[in-house]
Amino acid sequence: MRKQAGFSVREPGGKTVSEQNYFHVPAEWASRAFVDKAGYEAMYKASVENPEAFWAEQGKRIDWFEPYTKVKNTSFIPGAVSIKWFEDGVTNIAHNCVDRHLEKRGDQVAIIWEGDSPTESRKITYRELASEVNKFANVLRNRDVQKGDRVTIYLPMIPEAAFAMLACARLGAVHSIVFAGFSPDSLAGRISDCGSKVVITADEGLRGGRKVPLKANVDAAIERLPEPVDHVIVVRRTGATVAMEPGRDVWYHEAAEMVTDECPAEPMNAEDPLFILYTSGSTGKPKGVLHTTGGYLVYAAMTHQYVFDYHEGDIYWCTADVGWVTGHSYIVYGPLANGATTLMFEGVPNYPSNARFWEVIDKHQVNIFYTAPTAIRALMQAGEDPVKKTSRASLRLLGSVGEPINPEAWHWYHRVVGEGRCPIVDTWWQTETGGILITPLPGATALKPGSATRPFFGIVPQLVDAEGRVLDGAAEGNLVIADSWPGQMRTVYGDHERFEQTYFSTYPGKYFTGDGCRRDEDGYYWITGRVDDVINVSGHRMGTAEVESALVAHPKVSEAAVVGFPHDIKGQGIYAYVTLMAGENPSEELRKELVAWVRKEIGPIASPDLIQFAPGLPKTRSGKIMRRILRKIAEDQFENLGDTSTLADPGVVEDLVSNRQNKR
Ligand code: PRX
């Protein structure tokens, strides 16, 4: 690739560095890709000038039992927010991801499963997938799971996770996947919020050679529920002995022996719910983001095809977990809707060695590889040797998702992993958006390391200032999306008011993303990170309020304030300021106890990286904690604390700063 021109980029933490590289689309990409530069410009223009006509055409990429006659019926007006796409169409997602491929590609591999240990892998053809999904659906049906019922899935990255998702979709049940790293408490909250009567889990999970007691966690979660669940379906993964409650718990392999592998696909309206996925916001409990059927699948399939330039026969690997939205849209639904071969990985990047990703790429001849900056940064620290000892000749395209990718990591990914020949698609999106919104297309978009570049078809990003004024040209502001797209979430499960309040009230009439963003003179978008009280730790979203409420639940803690701080590997780390109850004394032991406490309350991903014991927190006279100041202290920006004159007790800040400085 050719290098050109200079520009600046923002490192995590807000530092600005100069970058010299501008990567043009290689000639062979421009000619082989579905979309080249001229194609992008023309299609984008058509998509925003006449969305009805554009999406009427795109909707045809999936099969419909009853065709739609209406395409777009959406309103972002506060008080009347309503999002409907293809609203009178009837379809089924499992039909689209499985059945419709059988005639043409029944013997093609649909899922390559790579186990935690390099000695374990499995290939599942579309025909086998059909049989597995139908069996799973019948097991659920025998337990009275019907259209509209919610089913919680708490599984490791094993093929049964995909079977279970598609089985729910086949029956019209709404799945709610809870990441298998979450604690029993977090799981219980998510089971009860959506009222699941069925939980699907495994005896244990296996990650990096370590076992995770999933069934025991489910048992502990159920104990905390006000009402018990009816059924727990347990997939055997490690063969561990686990407690089974008679009448409630059943081994999946035993139940599956009792059913046939034929099961009709339930006709679903385009706007019937497909899944709920809980995600963190700036306040309160995690929200149940609700996605529906038709628009979601059209959008997931379309973005998967164009962003990854997926061609027949390509081997595609997204390293996410199905517990996150990336796993939903880009391991399961998008790829399978396109008849792709998708790789599902149970393990971690550094087990048994730091070469694992690259060895898996060689083993399965992966062409398209999609991962997160945090993994790249961690592997970068291990040096080039683990990468260089593998071939990676099959690789054609690289992708990044979950957080801003710093240019250093981008260049390493490009130069070392991709040998300088693979474009990188830096894809910006969110749980709420269902699919990728801002991204390069590999045959169309020149790349700037650190920029998610340009909007996908149908997406109208805008930058607004604090008063909601739309900013033109090169500018920096808050990122909003001015009009709907088919993959957009429809509501917060059970709380439409919270949906409107969270996303449509800050800038009335627009969807507010919660991200800050800069647009350069070429119209490229540079996401600068969250502007709300959400932090992004290793690409995982965490509400500071959730960590705070876990901390204050500890008997020795009186008050806590949590902020993010720049972290070399994780992008952001968790910095907790903790005020103890009168009579309690700070100690190293208590620090460890609090970290363990948060892990137990929420899960390991929420573990605070730093805890600072603070006799007092900076508050306004009305008692509001001034997080702006705490953020600056956590970032070591002591000279930059801003106006502290409104503080009830300015002395508190000096204490905090001197404590922080002492730690350096
Ligand atoms: O801050 C943005 C960041 O991740 C947030 C969404 O997190 P989540 O809903 O967990 O979904 C992650 C996977 C889609 C966004 O608000 N983010 C995601 N992708 C990028 C990103 N920030 C910068 N660049 C990205 N490519």
Rounded Cα gap, residues 143 and 151, in angstroms: 11
Tell me, what CATH number does 586's domain have?
3.30.300.30
Ligand 1 pocket, Cβ-based, cut-off 6 angstroms? 279, 325-326, 401-404, 426-431, 452, 513-515, 527, 529-530, 536, 541
- The stretch 59-82 carries a mean pLDDT of 97
Rounded Cα gap, residues 419 and 437, in angstroms: 27
What is the residue whose two structure tokens read 């099959």? 394
Average pLDDT, the chain: 94
Residues in the chain, overall count? 664
- The stretch 550-562 carries a mean pLDDT of 96
* Residue 420 clears pLDDT 90, i.e. is over it: yes
Tokens of 505: 């009230």
> What's residue 3's pLDDT?
29
Letter string b/e over residues 615-635, b meaning 16 or more CB atoms within 10 A of that residue's CB = eebbbeeeeebbbebbbbbbb
Mutation pick for ligand 1 pocket among 536, 538, 544, 572 (CB with most ligand atoms within 8 Å): 536
Distance 39 CA to ligand 1 centre (A): 27
Letter string b/e over residues 129-164, b meaning 16 or more CB atoms within 10 A of that residue's CB = bbbbbbbbbbbbbebebeeebbbbbbbbbbbbbbbb
Nearest CA to 74 out of 66, 65, 86, 83 is that of 83
Which domain, by its residues, includes 655? 538-659
* Residue 498 clears pLDDT 80, i.e. is over it: yes
> What's residue 660's pLDDT?
76
- The pLDDT tens digits for 623-633 are 888 888 999 99
In a domain? residue 603: yes
In a domain? residue 600: yes
In a domain? residue 568: yes
Mutation pick for ligand 1 pocket among 330, 425, 430 (CB with most ligand atoms within 8 Å): 430
Nearest CA to ligand 1 atom 8: 430
* Residue 490 clears pLDDT 70, i.e. is over it: yes
CA of residue 500 relative to chain centroid, distance? 21
- The pLDDT tens digits for 90-131 are 999 999 999 999 999 999 999 999 999 999 999 999 999 999
Name the binding residues for CoA.
Answer: 207-210, 326, 350, 538, 599
* Ligand 1 atom with the shortest distance to the CA of 513: 16
- The pLDDT tens digits for 235-257 are 999 999 999 999 999 999 999 99
In a domain? residue 525: no
> What's residue 649's pLDDT?
81
> What's residue 663's pLDDT?
55
Q: What percent of the chain has pLDDT over 70?
A: 96
Longest dimension (CA), the chain: 74
- The pLDDT tens digits for 258-293 are 999 999 999 999 999 999 999 998 888 899 999 999
Rounded Cα gap, residues 563 and 632, in angstroms: 9
In a domain? residue 589: yes
Strand partners for 8? 18
Give the CA angle between residues 550, 555, 560 to the nearest 5°: 45
Nearest CA to 224 out of 179, 278, 187, 279 is that of 187
**Residue 585 burial class via C-beta count within 10 angstroms: exposed 0-12, middle 13-18, buried 19 and up:** exposed
Whether the CA torsion 612, 614, 618, 622 is positive or negative: it is positive
Rounded Cα gap, residues 346 and 104, in angstroms: 29
Supply the Cα-derived Rg of the chain in whole angstroms: 24
* Residue 19 clears pLDDT 60, i.e. is over it: no
The whole model's pTM is what?
A: 0.94
Nearest CA to ligand 1 atom 5: 430
In a domain? residue 87: no
In a domain? residue 578: yes
Tokens of 377: 């940064």
- The pLDDT tens digits for 159-182 are 999 999 999 999 999 999 999 999
Rounded Cα gap, residues 478 and 462, in angstroms: 8
Tell me: cis bond preceding 608? Omega within 30 of 0 counts: no
- The stretch 332-340 carries a mean pLDDT of 99
* Residue 2 clears pLDDT 50, i.e. is over it: no
* Residue 15 clears pLDDT 80, i.e. is over it: no
Distance 317 CA to ligand 1 centre (A): 19
Whether the CA torsion 282, 283, 286, 290 is positive or negative: it is negative
* Residue 595 clears pLDDT 70, i.e. is over it: yes
- The stretch 75-81 carries a mean pLDDT of 96
Neighbours of 45 (CB within 10 A): 12
Nearest CA to 129 out of 101, 153, 104, 150 is that of 101
Tell me if 181 sits within 8 A of 323, measured CB to CB: yes
Rounded Cα gap, residues 92 and 169, in angstroms: 7
How many domains does the chain fold into? Answer: 1
> What's residue 20's pLDDT?
46
Nearest CA to ligand 1 atom 22: 403
CA dihedral 527, 532, 538, 544 (to 10 degrees): 170
In a domain? residue 224: no
